C-alpha cells in the first residue's frame, strides 16, 4: 500500500534467514464463525472446512510470538497455495522463516514464507506474505506496482459495509492498534483505523463461494493479493471481478468509497467441493 507518509517507527523486523519457532495452531469452528460474521460473510458456506485466511493471521502473529512488536506494521502482499481442505478444530503445525528484507520508501518490506502441516505429515497449505515495517525510508526501495488500468474488464459481484466495531474486534488478537485506536492510526499516518488486510481475503473467498452457488467451501486455491491502499474501518467496499469463464487467471479488486482499488487479487486456480 502506498498512499500515506508515516512519521512513526516500528521495532526493527527479524533479519533475513530468521526461523520462527514451530507452533501448533488451529481453526476453531467458533472462532471461524465469529470472525467471518465480523466480515459480513455467512460462516455456513464453509461447512466443515477452514478458511485458509486464518493461517495468514497466524503468519502475522509469528513476529509477535518471536518477541517483536507488530504495532504499526501494514500488510502489503499475500499468497495462499491450498491443495487440500483445512480441517476445523484440529492441530496444525506452522513453520516459517523470513526469506528477505528489502528497503522501502517508508521503512522496510519484510517477506516471510510458512508451511502448515497436519498430524499425518501432509502440508495442505503454504502461505507467503510481506509487510511494511515503518521506519527510516529508503527512496530506492520499490513499491507495489500499479497496473495502468487495474479495473479493466471488471464488474461488481458483491459489496460490504465495514463497521468500526467489527473491524476492531476482528483484529482483537493482533495487538496492532492501527486497527482499533484512532490516535495510533493517526500517529502512523492514517486518517482513521484501517481494516486488517485479511478481512478482504475472507470477503473475497466468501463472495466466490456464493458466486459458485454455494457449491462447497474452497478446497484448492492459488491466490495472490497486493494491498495497495488502506481500507478504512467505516468504508463501503465493492468487490469487482473479471468474468469467471474468461481465459487465464481471474482478476479481482476491492474498491473503496473513492473509487480506487484498495487491493488487487489474482486467482490462478480455485476449486470448490
Q: For the segment 222-248, what is each residue's pLDDT rounded down to a tens digit?
A: 999 999 999 999 999 999 999 998 999
Q: For the segment 172-212, what is each residue's pLDDT rounded down to a tens digit?
A: 765 678 889 999 999 888 999 999 889 999 999 999 999 99
Quote the number of domains for the chain. 1
The confidence score (pLDDT) of residue 8 equals 61
Reading the chain (273 residues) residue by residue, the pLDDT tens digits are 444 444 465 677 789 999 999 999 999 999 999 999 999 999 999 999 999 999 998 998 898 898 887 777 888 999 999 999 999 999 999 999 999 999 888 788 999 999 999 999 999 999 999 998 877 766 666 666 666 789 999 999 999 999 999 999 998 765 678 889 999 999 888 999 999 889 999 999 999 999 999 999 999 999 999 999 999 999 999 999 999 989 999 999 999 999 999 999 999 999 999
Confirm whether 146 is domain-assigned.
Answer: yes
3-class secondary-structure state, position 200 = helix
Q: Which CATH number does the domain housing residue 239 bear?
A: 3.10.129.10
Confirm whether 6 is domain-assigned.
Answer: no
C-beta separation of 202 from 35 below 8 A: yes
Rounded CA gap, 155 and 107, in Å? 35
C-beta separation of 76 from 109 below 8 A: yes
Provide the residue range defining the domain that includes 51. Answer: 19-272
CB proximity list for 75: less than 8 A, separation 6 or greater: 1, 60, 129, 131, 196, 197, 198, 227
Confirm whether 2 is domain-assigned.
Answer: no
Confirm whether 3 is domain-assigned.
Answer: no
3-class secondary-structure state, position 187 = helix
Confirm whether 5 is domain-assigned.
Answer: no
CA angle 168, 174, 177 (to 5 degrees): 55
Amino acid at each position: 500500500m502506498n498512499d500515506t507518509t508515516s512519521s512513526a517507527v516500528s521495532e526493527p523486523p527479524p533479519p533475513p534467514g530468521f526461523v520462527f519457532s514451530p507452533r501448533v495452531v488451529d481453526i476453531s469452528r467458533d472462532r471461524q464463525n465469529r470472525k467471518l460474521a465480523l466480515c459480513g460473510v455467512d460462516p455456513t458456506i464453509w461447512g466443515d472446512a477452514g478458511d485458509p485466511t486464518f493461517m495468514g493471521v497466524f503468519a502475522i502473529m509469528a513476529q509477535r510470538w518471536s518477541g517483536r512488536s507488530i504495532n504499526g506494521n501494514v500488510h502489503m502482499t499475500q499468497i495462499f497455495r491450498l491443495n487440500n481442505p483445512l480441517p476445523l478444530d484440529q492441530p496444525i503445525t506452522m513453520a516459517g522463516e523470513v526469506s528477505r528484507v528489502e528497503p522501502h520508501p517508508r521503512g522496510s518490506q519484510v517477506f516471510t514464507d510458512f508451511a502448515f502441516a497436519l498430524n499425518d505429515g501432509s502440508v495442505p497449505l503454504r502461505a507467503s506474505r510481506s509487510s511494511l515495517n515503518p521506519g527510516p525510508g529508503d527512496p530506492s526501495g520499490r513499491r507495489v506496482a500499479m497496473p495502468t488500468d487495474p479495473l479493466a474488464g471488471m464488474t461488481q459481484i458483491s459489496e460490504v459495509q465495514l463497521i468500526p466495531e467489527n473491524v476492531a474486534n476482528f483484529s482483537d488478537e493482533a495487538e496492532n492498534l492501527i486497527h482499533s485506536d484512532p490516535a495510533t492510526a493517526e500517529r502512523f499516518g492514517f486518517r482513521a483505523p484501517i481494516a486488517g488486510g485479511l478481512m478482504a481475503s475472507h470477503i473475497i473467498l466468501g463472495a466466490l463461494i456464493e458466486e459458485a452457488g454455494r457449491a462447497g467451501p474452497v478446497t484448492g486455491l492459488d491466490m495472490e493479493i497486493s494491498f495497495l491502499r488502506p481500507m478504512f474501518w467505516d468504508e463501503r467496499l465493492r468487490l469487482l471481478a473479471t468474468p469467471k469463464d474468461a481465459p487465464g487467471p481471474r482478476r479481482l479488486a476491492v474498491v473503496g468509497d473513492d473509487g480506487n482499488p484498495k487491493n488487487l487479487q489474482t486467482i490462478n486456480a480455485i476449486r470448490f467441493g
